[in-house]
Amino acid sequence: MLIGIVAAVVVLLLAGAGVWVFVAMDDSGDAAPRVDASQDLPKAPGGCAVFDEHEVKPHIPGRMEFEVGSVNGSNQLVEQGQCNWNNSDTFTKDKVRPAFVIVTSYVYRATQTKSGVDAAKEHLQRRVKNGVEVNVKGAEEALLVAKEDTDFTADVTVRYRNVVYHVDYSNQTDGAPIKPTVTDLAATAIGKVVPNTG
């Protein structure tokens, strides 16, 4: 009889342990799906740190100034920054045409429901509806938007992983190469976060 009681206790203990192991290892329950944030970059140059002066100056005639834009800040979802290089205060005295470069940067962060990469992809789908694909070295996505009502302004939005740069360029100088210049500026920006593959 003692052997029967011991055997029953052992069976109950093994059954309890088996149930515990099954529940502990079961990932298919009601738990939220795990988000793969392994492709998210932890940081990237933003705002006025995106370009050095010598990278922008050749595209702004006359004297150039820069100022921090109005969309700088950080929260749990995104870190964003903006910078504006222009000749707005000096083009008349310098007898040149007005021009500006504005870069807006976004570094998206993972949440419980989506990775930063997914959030960055959604950014392009949501905000760049009428863009056409353009080849920008290193970018996983690059969209060009040329303004319909003017031939001196265009913008390119580029994405690498969870980092998005939106570059606006305007130059009213006759014959200024708007689309190639804004595309080159976008390539310069995204090149600062794309690993150098040699």
Q: Does the pTM of the predicted model rise above 0.85?
A: no
Radius of gyration of the chain (CA): 27
| Residue ranges of domains in the chain, CATH in brackets | 47-190 (3.40.1000)
pLDDT tens-digit series, residues 43-60: 999 999 999 999 999 999
pLDDT of residue 129: 84
Distances (CA, A) of 126 to 87, 91, 130: 31, 35, 10
pLDDT at 23 over 50: no
pLDDT at 162 over 80: yes
CA distance 47 to 103: 7
Amino acid at site 132 = V
CA distance 107 to 120: 8
Helix (H), strand (E), coil (C) string for 134-165: CCCCCCCEEEEEECCCCCCEEEEEEEECCEEE
pLDDT at 169 over 50: yes
Residue predicted with more confidence, 7 or 185: 185
pLDDT tens-digit series, residues 96-113: 999 999 999 999 999 999
